[in-house]
Every structure is written in structure tokens, then in C-alpha cells.
Amino acid sequence: MPTYESDVCIIGAGVVSAMLAERLVELRPGLAITVVEAGSSLFDVPARMEARQRALDYGENAWPGDFLDDQVSGSEGLVGFTMAVGGLGLRWGGACNRFSEEDLRLKSQYGLAMDWPIEWAELEKYYCQAERRLNVFGEPSPYPEDKRSEPYPVPALALSYNLQTLKSWAEKSGIRFSALPMAHNLRPFGGRGACCLFDTCGQVCPTGARYSPDYTFRQLLAQKKITLHDRTLIRRLVVGDDKPVVVAAHAVHRDKPEQAVEYRARTFVVASGYTWSSHLLLLSSSSRYPNGVANSSGLVGCYMNGHKFISGQATADLELYPGQNMSYSLISREFFRCPPDRPFVRHDTRIWENPGRGPRLRDDSGRLQLGDEVIADWRARAKRATIRLRAYYDVHTDKESRLTLHPTARNKYGDPLPKITHRLDAASEAREAATRAHIVSVFERLAKADNGKLVSTGEGGYLDHPAGGCRMGTDPATSVCDGYGRTHDHENLFVVGAPTLPTAGCTNGTLTFAALTLRSAEQIAGDQRRS
């Protein structure tokens, strides 16, 4: 069987893997790092523009070849579908909000869920580092609790006319808003282009302005700093007979399925996202580890989490001209904090211009409009604006909120596929109605100004920014890994990013996954120095 040796073997090539590989190279030049990714390298930058156009014209997948049919079909629940070099980071919108100190102290402040094994001041340093690497733009929050030790690397993109109008409207409620921080280049940076307002950030960014991990990997490869094995699925981690350390990872290359491949390394890092990290640990069972690797607590795959959300549509007597960078929005952090003596509710609040009501060449009767008529028609229709609102809110999950191995569904190599079932804990269930009522009242408060009206609300049917499954903690009986992602059971095995989160906050998670991973990188590099 072909065997590849390295100092560090990283499994998965998404955002957190890119952050980790880049940081390890800086900390320990010369380290032999192998990144193994199940999906393909979709490095074809010129094709991005064409893929975008086809996605817009025909609704085609903007990233052809980015998912492995036999891994995803048959899996159950909210499974991470993008498997390629870049992972879900090929498609993310780039919103980069920080969590808040409360997320780390839910147990001690509110008697809920658990505390994270890390101090806020410590995490904040790594937020700064992650923001620098992702080249996040943003503006200081108006809330003093959001104090930062460093300014944003790039000042915020100026608000469009629409967002300026919406900010003045929303702030009449007394709730303060800022520009959404985003990992979008306003000038070329990191080998990627600048934002040209293509406005398809959540699908494909043709210039690479929105941070995309494939660029980081391409650069590390060009500089010969890492080895990348794509189209190679790690199927099992193997623990040695003498000591509880992981000695190998067994894999299959998708183009040569008949031949097993072995990876040997001093340190293994599972950077496989919220679905496939727990899945791999569970798949790695053996007679000595019947419940899988790193699972003496029995908690691998448990406490899968994320946040719930409520959306709304409001109308108001504002003139908006939709289509001015629809991905950009306003955020308020007013409700990130909840006084401990009040019913618990925490959420972010986002406001966007709403699609529709753009300029048009034909009027309602189908008559062609030309020249000034187009503008006059647009102005007339833009008199009363529709506004999009959303709140991600903090919920906590039960131990039985779980990723398990599917009892019947298998991939083409015969390995059981994952099944994810999210379940809220009793306290979160009990406060659902009150949380909903609170958020709707916030939307109504916002919608009051300028003859505004909240016209509809709707609840998301899934947990967004999913995480969990290998939660971190100080006690090996109640967590899978420590605050650095080092598994309690195997000192040379780390899990990084989303799976390690005990709880998923009330705003986008990727910046937090990246910050925690950068902190892990120092431990991983430190281990290499010692061994």
C-alpha cells in the first residue's frame, strides 16, 4: 500500500484547514505538511466568471464537481454537501461577525449549556489574527462591550444609498446598527482581486474578492510549503498498539479505489467540518475502540448545534432603489447581551434591501419603456420600500442532538454515512415562544418609523452555521477535546474549527471557527518543536 509520511497530516481542505496550514508554515518553516481532501481541486479562476453567468442564466451549480454524490446522497439531516478544495468556503457569503463574551460563559452567567474552556481576552487576540488573514472590513461597533484590541484590518465599505436610508430608518427605534463586517477585499490582497460588486457572493465570486480557501492552498502549493492530496477520502484513523496515539490514517483515492493509501504523521488534525469530523472519528472504531476514536466520553457526535433564525419583511415610506450590492447589510449587536435577571434571549439583528422593484423595460401592461420613462417608472414604484429583516438567535442543544452512523446507508466503499438529528435542550424549548415574541416585537419596533409595517415573519426550519459534535472542555468525561482541539484520548490527534464549539452563538460562525483554529496552530507547532 502506498504510504506517505509527514510531520502534520491535515484532513480536509476548507477554510479552517487553509488557516491552519498557512499558520503552521509561518510558525515552523520546513515542517512537512500534507493536506488530504476528499474532493477535487477546482482552481480554475477564469472559469468562475462563466460559472457565475451559467448559475444566473440557468440556475446551474456554480461549482460543477464540488460534491461527492455517494457521500451526500443517502446521508440524512443537514449534511455539509460541498466537498472540494475550499470546502463550504467556496460558497460562503463572507460575513465575519464575532461572538460575544457571553457565549463563553453561558453556564456561569445564566446557568445554561456550558462554559467554554477559554477566556474572552484570549479568543479576542485570535479574532484579530483571523480578521487580518481573511482581510475583513468593518467599522467599530457602537456598543462599548464590543471593544476590540485592534481596529478592523480594513475600514468598512461605504454604505450604499439604500443602506444609509435603512440605517436612518432603523435607528429611529433607538437600536444602533453598523455595517456588516465581511471578508471581502476592497483592494487586491492575498493573491485575490478586489470586490467589483458582482453581488453573487453566496454563489461564486468571480474576482476572488470574497475570501476563498482555494487561493490559500494554491499559494502554499506554488511555494512548495505543503503537499496536497485531493480526491482522497480518509476512511479511518488507526491508533497504535503500545500507546494511545494515532499512527496512521487509511484512505482511498477516488480514481484508484482498489488500492488503499496510508498516511503516517506525528500529528493528525481533523479539519473536516461539522459533519465529517465526528463521522470520521466514529468510523474509526476497532476492537480496542468500539465506539470510535477519541470517544471514551461517548460524546463524539453529540451536542450538534447551530442557531435558529426568524426572518421578516417590512414596508415603509422610504425610497429604495434595490440592486445596490444586495449581499451587504446592516447588523445590530444590541441583543447580544442579556441581563442575567431577565428572561434569556440573545440574537443579532440584520437588515437588507429587498430584491425586486428594480428598473424595468416594460410597464405592467407590457409596453416598452425607454429613456426617462424607465427612471420615472422606477421612482414611482420605489416610493414604498420593502425591507428584509433577520435575527439569528441563541439556542442550546441536547446531548441527543446527534450525528450517528446511518444504520443502512453506505457510500461506495461500504462505509456507513452520517445521520444528523438536531434537538434543542429543554431550557431552549421552554423559551421558544418567548424568544419568538421578543424578536417579532423588535422587528415591529424597527418597522414603526416612516409609516412602516411588519408584513410577515417566518421561522427557519434548521440550525444555521452548524457546529458541534466534538465539543471542547476541561473535563474528559464531558468533552471530546481541550480548548486547543487536542483530543483528551490521543495526544497527537486534534480536531479544529466548527466541531469543537460547545454552543453556536447567535451570529455567523466561521470567523470563530478560524480564530479557534489559529489558536490550535500554536499548540500543534509547539508539539513539533518538542518531538
Ligand X SMILES: Cc1cc2nc3c(=O)[nH]c(=O)nc-3n(C[C@H](O)[C@H](O)[C@H](O)COP(=O)(O)OP(=O)(O)OC[C@H]3O[C@@H](n4cnc5c(N)ncnc54)[C@H](O)[C@@H]3O)c2cc1C
Segment near ligand X (CB under 6 A); pick from 161-169, 269-277, 369-377, 404-412: 269-277
Would you count residue 87 as binding ligand X (CB under 6 A)? yes
Residue 75 burial class via C-beta count within 10 angstroms: exposed 0-12, middle 13-18, buried 19 and up:
buried
Q: Could you say whether residue 330 binds ligand X (CB under 6 A)?
A: no
Say how far apart CA 489 and CA 354 lie, in whole Å.
Answer: 50
Which position among 497, 502, 520, 525 is part of the footprint of ligand X (CB under 6 A)? 497
- Taking CB under 6 A as the criterion, the residue among 9, 10, 13, 454 binding ligand X is 13
Task: Tell me which of 301, 416, 502, 509 binds ligand X, using CB under 6 A.
Answer: 509
Stretch that binds ligand X, among 91-99, 141-149, 164-172, 520-528 (CB under 6 A): 91-99
Nearest alpha-carbon partner for 492 in 501, 478, 481, 477: 481
Helix (H, G, I), strand (E, B) or coil at 45: helix
Helix pair 213-222, 15-27: axis angle to 10 deg: 30
DSSP string spanning 465-516? EEEEES-B-S-TTT-SB-TTSBBSS-TTEEE-SGGG-SS-TTS--HHHHHHH
Q: State the minimum distance, in angstroms, from the CB of residue 18 to ligand X.
A: 8
The number of helix segments (H) and strand segments (E) in the chain equals 12, 18
The binding track of 155-194 with respect to ligand X, each residue x by CB under 6 A or -, is ----------------------------------------
Q: Would you list the DSSP string of 189-258?
A: BTTB--------TTT--TTS-B--HHHHHHHHHHTT--EEE-SEEEEEEEE-SSSSSEEEEEEEETT-TT
Identify which of residues 174 and 461 has a Cβ nearer to ligand X in the complex.
461
Residue 215 or 344: the one with the smaller Cβ distance to ligand X is 215
The only residue of 8, 20, 25, 88 in contact with ligand X, by rule CB under 6 A: 88
Footprint on residues 187-226 left by ligand X (CB under 6 A): 202
Task: Tell which one of 31, 95, 130, 294 touches ligand X (CB under 6 A).
Answer: 95
Does residue 93 interact with ligand X by CB under 6 A?
A: yes
Instruction: Decide if residue 91 touches ligand X (CB under 6 A).
Output: yes
Question: Which residues of 230-361 form beta strands (DSSP E)?
Answer: 232-239, 246-253, 260-270, 302-316, 330-332, 349-353
How many residues belong to the chain?
Answer: 531
Grid cell listed for 192: 485575490
Residue 368, classed as helix, strand or coil, is strand
Piece of 32-40, 259-267, 370-378, 473-481 that binds ligand X (CB under 6 A): 32-40
Q: How far is CA 164 from CA 37, 330, 378, in A?
A: 43, 9, 19
Q: Which C-beta is closer to ligand X: that of 190 or that of 476?
A: 190
Q: Shortest approach of ligand X to residue 451 CB, angstroms? A: 32
- Give 80 or 322: the residue with its C-beta nearer to ligand X: 80
* 22: amino acid identity, one letter: E
> Which of 234, 310, 314, 330 touches ligand X by CB under 6 A?
234
Which of 17, 305, 397, 487 contacts ligand X by CB under 6 A? 17
Q: Is 261 near ligand X (CB under 6 A)?
A: no
Residue 375 CB, nearest approach to ligand X (Å): 33
492 forms part of the interface with ligand X (CB under 6 A): no
Q: Is 508 in the site for ligand X (CB under 6 A)?
A: yes
In angstroms, what CA-CA distances link 256 with 232, 259, 474? 10, 6, 42
Q: Which is nearer to ligand X, 79 or 247 (CB)?
A: 79
- Give yes or no for residue 117 binding ligand X (CB under 6 A): no
Decide: is 130 part of the binding site for ligand X (CB under 6 A): no
User: DSSP alpha helices (H): ranges in 299-425?
Assistant: 372-381
Q: Phi then psi for 30, rounded to 5 degrees?
A: 95, -10
For the bound state, the minimum distance from the C-beta of residue 383 to ligand X, rounded and expressed in Å, comes to: 32
Give 67-75 contacts, CB < 8 A, sequence gap 24+: 67/39, 68/38, 68/39, 68/233, 68/254, 70/411, 70/412, 71/38, 71/233, 71/411, 71/417, 74/406, 74/409, 74/410, 74/411, 74/417, 75/275, 75/406, 75/409, 75/417, 75/418, 75/419, 75/420
Tell whether residue 40 is a contact of ligand X (CB under 6 A): no
Residue 37 near ligand X by CB under 6 A? yes
DSSP strand pairing (33-36 vs 227-229): parallel
- The CB-of-468 to ligand X minimum distance in angstroms stands at 12
Residue among 8, 33, 39, 214 that touches ligand X (CB under 6 A):
39
Closest distance to ligand X from the beta carbon of 376 (Å): 37
Q: Which is nearer to ligand X, 93 or 473 (CB)?
A: 93
Question: Closest approach of Cβ 23 to ligand X, in Å?
Answer: 14
Span from 106-114, 166-174, 366-374, 504-512 in contact with ligand X (CB under 6 A):
504-512
- Look at strands 330-332 and 349-353 and give their pairing: antiparallel
Q: Which stretch binds ligand X (CB under 6 A): 148-156, 170-178, 270-278, 359-367?
A: 270-278
278 near ligand X, judged by CB under 6 A: no
For ligand X, the closer of residues 209 and 454 by Cβ is: 209
Name the residues that contact ligand X, by CB under 6 A.
Answer: 11-17, 36-39, 80, 83-84, 87-89, 91-95, 202, 233-234, 272-273, 276, 280, 465, 497-498, 508-511, 513
